[in-house]
């Protein structure tokens, strides 16, 4: 009897997990039938480029959600990275120095988020929202709200639709996302630290008894989130070739949406970046499709909310991690 129940649970989980993967080709077919040129080479490259930038920003959000947290400072860190990079490179700093400094600042903001969340025993939504506002305000105070600066041509090429990676006619940022995705998937499933992330999110008390340093896990995870947000800010600087502290604002909702749509549980301990990749592809295609058919921004948000509620209702039927161990 137990074997039958377990088989039924596994079958249910398989069917539920297939839902987001099925949405990717379905949305693509709808796009082809609704928008002229949707399947063109330039359109495909545009979809991949937009997906790659969102996907890189979602790496940190996914890892944070796995441990049972959430990171609302991502938009602020993206804007900070964009402004600091363009400002300092415009002043003559070497590009690699600017990149290291920006990523280091992002990781520092993230580490502070993780440490304060554990120290004060406050849900990170509050902490990260506050630090994001502090970072954004600090950038405005530093620049006196006068955004200037520039970026190197090769950075603009890397995030351009017409960019090429050697003989491959794909923008370098897409290749970079593919490499990052493979590394993250290996990290979360094949390393001891990755397994500690899942243990911390699924059952913190049991993880503590297993001698997992929860504070260290939180600091590391949020630091990674800040670093990947900073990388996204660098890419945005090349994409717009301008300095803009508000460039990351749309990612406040989009990173969370992609994680949730992919099927990673906001309660922690379940899901992963593989699912987030699917969520990114769904979100990018859906947004492009709605814009292409002339749907207003307000209606887009409403339809996206309906999709999230629908998928959450489905995911809620998936067996919890502790019932599958």
- Per-residue model confidence as pLDDT tens digits over 69-82: 999 999 999 999 99
Q: Where are the domains of the chain?
A: 19-27+39-320
208 pLDDT band (50/70/90 cuts)? confident
Give Cβ neighbours of residue 26 (< 8 Å, ≥ 6 apart). none
- Domain 19-27+39-320 listed as CATH 1.10.3470: yes
Q: Is the pLDDT of residue 10 over 90?
A: no
- Cα–Cα dist 14/6, whole Å: 12
Q: pLDDT tens digits for 59-109? A: 999 999 999 999 999 999 999 999 999 999 988 899 999 999 999 999 999
Say if CB 16 and CB 314 are below 8 A apart. yes
Give the total residue count for the chain: 325
- Cα–Cα dist 56/171, whole Å: 14
pTM score, two decimals? 0.89
- Cα–Cα dist 106/111, whole Å: 9
Helix and strand counts by DSSP (H, E) for the chain: 13, 0
Q: pLDDT tens digits for 133-146? A: 999 999 988 887 77
Say if CB 114 and CB 222 are below 8 A apart. yes
Tokens of 267: 């309660």
Q: pLDDT tens digits for 244-264? A: 888 999 898 899 999 998 888
The CA-atom distances, in angstroms, between 41 and each of 27, 38, 44 are 17, 9, 5
Q: Is the pLDDT of residue 46 over 80?
A: yes
Q: Is the pLDDT of residue 325 over 50?
A: no
């Amino acid at each position: 009897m137990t074997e039958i129940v377990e088989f039924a649970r596994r079958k249910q989980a398989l069917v539920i997990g297939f839902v987001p993967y099925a949405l990717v080709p379905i949305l693509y077919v709808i796009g082809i039938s609704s928008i002229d040129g949707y399947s063109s080479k330039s359109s495909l490259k545009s979809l991949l480029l937009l997906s790659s930038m969102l996907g890189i920003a979602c790496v940190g959000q996914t890892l944070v959600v796995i441990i049972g947290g959430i990171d609302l400072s991502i938009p602020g860190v993206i804007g900070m990275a964009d402004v600091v990079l363009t400002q300092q490179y415009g002043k003559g700093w070497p590009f690699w120095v600017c990149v290291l400094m920006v990523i280091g600042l992002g990781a520092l903001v993230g580490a502070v988020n993780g440490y304060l969340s554990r120290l004060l025993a406050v849900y990170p939504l509050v902490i990260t929202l506050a630090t994001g506002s502090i970072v954004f305000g600090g950038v405005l105070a530093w620049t006196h709200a006068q955004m200037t600066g520039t970026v190197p041509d090769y950075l603009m090429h890397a995030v351009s639709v017409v960019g090429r990676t050697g003989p491959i006619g794909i923008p370098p940022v897409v290749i970079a996302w593919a490499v990052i995705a493979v590394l993250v998937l290996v990290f979360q499933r094949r390393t001891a630290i990755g397994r500690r992330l899942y243990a911390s999110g699924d059952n913190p008390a049991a993880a503590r008894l297993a001698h997992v340093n929860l504070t260290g896990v939180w600091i590391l995870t949020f630091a990674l989130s800040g670093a990947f947000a900073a990388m996204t800010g660098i890419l945005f600087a090349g994409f717009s070739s301008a300095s803009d502290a508000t460039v990351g604002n749309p990612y406040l909702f989009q990173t969370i949406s992609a994680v949730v749509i992919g099927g990673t549980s906001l309660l922690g301990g379940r899901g992963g970046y593989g699912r987030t990749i699917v969520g990114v592809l769904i979100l990018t295609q859906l947004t492009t499709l709605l814009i292409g058919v002339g749907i207003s921004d307000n209606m887009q948000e409403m339809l996206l909310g309906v999709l999230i509620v629908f998928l959450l209702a489905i995911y809620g039927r998936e067996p919890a991690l502790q019932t599958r161990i």
